[in-house]
Amino acid sequence: MSTQRYGAGIWHFATYVDRYATDGYGAPRTLVEMIDLAGQVEDLTVVDINFPFPGGGDVSLPTIDAALKRNGLSVIGITPEIYTRQFAKGAFTNPDPGLRRLANEMCNEAAKMVRHFGADYVKLWPGQDGWDYPFQVDHREIWKLSVEGVAELASQNPDLKFVIEYKPREPRVHMSYDSVARTLLGIEKMGQPNVGILLDFGHSLYGGESPADAAQLAIDHGRLFGMDVNDNLRGWDDDMIAGSVHPIELFEFFWTLRKNGWEGVWQLDQFPFREDSVETANSAIGFLKRIERALDRLDFDALKAAQKRQDAVAALNLARGALFGD
């Protein structure tokens, strides 16, 4: 029987706006409503929660604790919202030092929440840190601030882990932490043991990486601290249902985790704009369970032998055979 734990960002159960449907794709939901929806998903046991807490209103910690408890959920990470209006020109790299300070403070507050919930990490997704136009920024300065901002947090909170979720772009036209290699380069510069990567399968895919290769590289640097999955058409962060477009590369990604003995939560980062949140999560987790079984079926030795000679056809046939249940 599988002991694999599954998780999701709590925003999976929110409703969304975009620049066109400014009235939102559904009525707003409170955090407690989101948690109660998460609780309806089969096999979901952990969530990542934004901070300040989403959904408006003044929700108290005891209320959240109770909602989590009654739904059998625990918290894996806290994601400070360092990408709202005030941070439109960046959090760690904002031209205004006062706003950089504010970002630091918000992340430190998020760190307190990590301690409260007994979570694993503060998740940093600096979506507004980057640039839009040619000539807009001093690239040395932007990168320096990107690295220093995270390093400072890590040294302020040596008891906690910080994970950086890199992404090529959106909402900025280009994000500073845009790829696995760039992020590792920055982390190596920081020289802190408690900073790692949260690898988003879809970000890796649409950034032109092989997610399996990206995972291996992060593991080999001892920095793969977390991950989440979804899918897209390789051109944008569509946050579609995991495996709905790229099931084979998803399988290779999880195979990479298993062969390295990487154990951790398999998380979802999906945005069901027009779909039912619970059904969307169930569909994804259902497929992840198929992948689990396929990993059990996969002949690792034969696959490694095929890889030793770069025999793409043999390797693909083995992978297909396991995944498609022949």
- Least separation, in Å, of the C-beta of 2 and a second copy? 16
244-273 positions binding a second copy, by CB under 8 A: 244-249, 251-252, 255-256, 271, 273
C-alpha 94/C-alpha 148 separation (Å) is 13
294-323 positions binding a second copy, by CB under 8 A: 303-304, 306-320, 323
CB-wise, 56 or 193, nearer to a second copy? 56
Residue 240 is given by DSSP the state: B
164-183 positions binding a second copy, by CB under 8 A: 168-171, 173-174, 178-179, 181-182
C-alpha 43/C-alpha 54 separation (Å) is 23
Per rule CB under 8 A, is residue 98 in the interface with a second copy? no
Say how many C-beta atoms besides its own lie within 10 A of residue 57's C-beta.
Answer: 11
Among 105, 132, 296, 299, binds a second copy (CB under 8 A): 132
Query: 228 with 198: CB under 8 angstroms?
Result: yes
For residue 236, the SS3 value is coil
Per rule CB under 8 A, is residue 292 in the interface with a second copy? no
For tokens 């895919």, what's the residue? 205
Binding residues for a second copy, total number by CB under 8 A: 104
- Least separation, in Å, of the C-beta of 195 and a second copy? 16
Per rule CB under 8 A, is residue 241 in the interface with a second copy? yes
Among 263, 279, 296, 299, binds a second copy (CB under 8 A): 279
CB-wise, 90 or 196, nearer to a second copy? 90
Beta strands in 125-242, from DSSP E residues, in sequence order? 130-131, 161-164, 174-175, 195-200, 224-229
Per rule CB under 8 A, is residue 92 in the interface with a second copy? no
User: Which phi-psi region, left, alpha or beta, contains residue 53 (left: φ > 0; alpha: ψ -120 to 50)?
Assistant: beta
Q: Give Cα 116 to chain centroid, integer Å.
A: 21
Per rule CB under 8 A, is residue 192 in the interface with a second copy? no
14-73 positions binding a second copy, by CB under 8 A: 16-26
